[in-house]
Amino acid sequence: MTSELLQKARDFEAQYGPHIPDRERPAFHATPTIGWMNDPNGFSMYKGECHLFYQYHPYSNEWGPMHWGHLKTKDFITWERLPAALAPDRDYDAAGCFSGGAVELPDGRQLLMYTGVQRSHNAEGFLQDVQTQCVAIGDGVNYEKWGENPILDERDLPEGGSTVDFRDPKVWQDTDGNFYAVIGNRTEDGSGAILLYRGVENFRGEFVRTLDRSYNQYGKMWECPDFFPLDGKQVLLTSPQEMNPVGLEFHAGNGAVCLIGDYEPEGKGFLRQYVQSIDYGLDFYAPQTLLAPDGRRIMVAWMQNWGTVGAKPYHCRWFGQMTLPRELSVKDGRLYQNPVRELENYRSGCVMHRSIPVCGEVNLPGVQGRVLDLRIKVRPTGGEMYRWFRIRVAKDGEHETIIRYRPSNGTVKIDRTRSGLPHDIVHTRSFLVRPRNGEIDLRIILDRFSVEVFVNGGEQAASAVIYTRQEADAVTFEAGGSVLMDVEKYDLAFGGQEREG
Ligand code: FRU
């Protein structure tokens, strides 16, 4: 039965969602039907289609009592809107249906596992959350909350585990046939841990082990975990709060971290070997992955950062978008990310320029637009090493978003200072790339309100939201010194919508 609160959200989004014209939204990045979106939830396959739920507050462009919004896709690029899936309509989730996962059950139904939040005054009179894990079962559109919720509560925590910060279950069915979930928790030292549970009867779970802990090294609470094997290694993703900056690897605040290691399920558990940031740009949090039927591990994340969510266009009717889904791989202890290959089906208007000498600033015929797939390869001319190379996109007389490479210190910088955000927030970020004698290979995916950069075949990714007016569509290239450059440009065109460029 659809509760009054859920029906209200469904009526609201059906009434007001269609008022937002397509051109006020990204062309191919997922956005909420209306209002606010944060984390991706339940990113998973169900009956051969990919479902993507999201943290949702339809009634304003601010975070509020969390619902689950719902989208699905056949190809990770075009999204079909479905009615809101969950509303905070029970005692155990009255303060919000927080993040979680989804999985197809052996009987063909879809299970959503989420964190139910209850808020009450503690002994000192302060408002405090209690977080438990809950499930809802449905048919891909409508879901019934389980009569025995919550299925995991304080009794299921290891010693020292917090009931205030116990959230974001990611659930999957493993090759041994069992269902597992990883869940974020805060430990007695005040920092985060990832707990592993195994499913037992009645959708309940038993605690298996703590997979890894921050020990106050990688931030405080660890949110939104994911855990999967990839290319012979085991990967643990988590999004820590309150990180300290470390060189150019980690910035302060909310980060998204990838831990790579080995996994001995019957032995020592997860043995962490490598730690890195997942995305080196400005806007990336709470990634979640799925295993596609063809074996690809595909990741999507919220393309925002909690630190800058106040910086939004005034009166916007939607806020928050997802990254382009990315194919993951692990090589030499590092996580690689590349745009899902399905994006290539939407390419048109190919323009290629080979071995173009650049010293000073150039534009190239046919290279402009705001919904683009651009590939740029740069190399030194043979003589002296160049000092820097810059690409400016979303550019007009007043605006530009700059991607700059400096070979002497091996850094790429993304700069959205002049990208339509009239707010005093962080606008630039630099990160280290592996030096290749002055060669660099950049793939830049531009949508109306974002730029995503993939460096050297996916060794690094960097994402940023921009709000530059759409008429600012010039692309220029500039070198301090001289380089040779190859450029491959495609427009990205989507059914029913006007071609860009
Ligand atoms: C991460 C997060 C999650 C929580 C959700 C609430 O962005 O804080 O830990 O479940 O957002 O919307």
Percent of all residues in the chain with a pLDDT value above 70, rounded to a whole number? 99
Q: Which residue has the higher pLDDT, 495 or 434?
A: 434
Q: Which residue in 65, 72, 3 sits closest to 35, CA to CA?
A: 65
Residue 36 pLDDT exceeds 80? yes
User: How much is the pLDDT for 45?
Assistant: 98
Residues 12-21: contacts with CB under 8 Å, at least 24 apart: 12/58, 12/59, 13/58, 13/69, 13/83, 13/84, 14/83, 16/317, 17/81, 19/317, 20/317, 20/318
Kindly state if the Cβ of 241 falls inside 6 Å of ligand 1: no
Cis-peptide, bond into residue 26, ω within 30° of zero: no
Kindly state if the Cβ of 213 falls inside 6 Å of ligand 1: no
Residue 440 pLDDT exceeds 50? yes
C-alpha 281 chain-centroid distance? 12
Residue nearest to atom 6 of ligand 1 (CA): 98
Kindly state if the Cβ of 167 falls inside 6 Å of ligand 1: yes
Residue nearest to atom 8 of ligand 1 (CA): 223
- Residue corresponding to tokens 């205030």: 164
**Residue 1 neighbours by CB under 8 Å, 6+ apart:** 144
User: How much is the pLDDT for 383?
Assistant: 81
Residue 1 pLDDT exceeds 90? no
pLDDT confidence bin for 467, thresholds 50/70/90: very high
Tell me if 205 sits within 8 A of 197, measured CB to CB: yes
Kindly state if the Cβ of 98 falls inside 6 Å of ligand 1: yes
Chain segment 193-239, per-residue pLDDT in tens? 999 999 999 999 999 999 999 999 999 999 999 999 999 999 999 99
The DSSP line for 293-329 is TTS-EEEEEES--GGGTT---TT-SEE--BPPPEEEE
Predicted TM-score (pTM) above 0.95: yes
Dist. CA 475 → ligand 1 center (Å):
36
Tell me if 333 sits within 8 A of 231, measured CB to CB: no
Residue nearest to atom 7 of ligand 1 (CA): 39
pLDDT confidence bin for 497, thresholds 50/70/90: very low
**Distance in angstroms (rounded) separating the CA atoms of residues 283 and 307:** 9
Dist. CA 53 → ligand 1 center (Å):
13
As annotated, the active-site residues are 39
Residue 341 pLDDT exceeds 50? yes
User: 3: how many CB neighbours lie within 10 A of its CB?
Assistant: 14
The DSSP line for 440-489 is EEEEEEEETTEEEEEEGGGTEEEEEE----TT--EEEEEEEEEEEEEEEE
**Distance in angstroms (rounded) separating the CA atoms of residues 62 and 304:** 13
Chain segment 81-119, per-residue pLDDT in tens? 999 999 999 999 999 999 999 999 999 999 999 999 999
Give the pair of three-digit tokens for residue 248.
């150019």
From 39, 41, 118, 309, give the residue whose CB has the most ligand 1 atoms within 8 Å, as the site to mutate: 39
* Backbone angle region of 315, left / alpha / beta, with phi > 0 → left and psi within -120 to 50 → alpha: left
Q: Which residue in 490, 473, 239 sits closest to 349, CA to CA?
A: 490
User: How much is the pLDDT for 123?
Assistant: 87
| pLDDT mean over 233-255 | 98
Tell me if 395 sits within 8 A of 472, measured CB to CB: yes
Any idea what DSSP says for residue 60?
A: S
Length of the chain: 501
Kindly state if the Cβ of 93 falls inside 6 Å of ligand 1: no
Dist. CA 99 → ligand 1 center (Å):
6
From 36, 162, 164, 168, give the residue whose CB has the most ligand 1 atoms within 8 Å, as the site to mutate: 168
Which atom of ligand 1 is closest in space to residue 184's alpha carbon?
9
Residue 185 pLDDT exceeds 60? yes
| pLDDT mean over 1-5 | 93
Chain segment 130-181, per-residue pLDDT in tens? 999 999 999 999 999 999 999 999 999 999 999 999 999 999 999 999 999 9
**Distance in angstroms (rounded) separating the CA atoms of residues 48 and 173:** 16
Dist. CA 95 → ligand 1 center (Å):
12
Exposure letters 292-312 (e unless 16+ CB within 10 A, then b): eeeebbbbbbbbbbbbbbebb
Kindly state if the Cβ of 118 falls inside 6 Å of ligand 1: no
Tell me if residue 192 falls in helix, strand or coil: strand
Residue 500 pLDDT exceeds 50? no
Any idea what DSSP says for residue 368?
A: B
From 63, 98, 129, give the residue whose CB has the most ligand 1 atoms within 8 Å, as the site to mutate: 98
pLDDT confidence bin for 496, thresholds 50/70/90: low
pLDDT confidence bin for 256, thresholds 50/70/90: very high
pLDDT confidence bin for 409, thresholds 50/70/90: very high
Dist. CA 78 → ligand 1 center (Å):
25
Dist. CA 202 → ligand 1 center (Å):
26
User: How much is the pLDDT for 498?
Assistant: 41
Tell me if 8 sits within 8 A of 253, measured CB to CB: no
The single-letter code of the amino acid at 468 is T
Dist. CA 59 → ligand 1 center (Å):
18
Give the pair of three-digit tokens for residue 128.
């405090």
Question: Chain-wide mean pLDDT for the chain?
Answer: 96
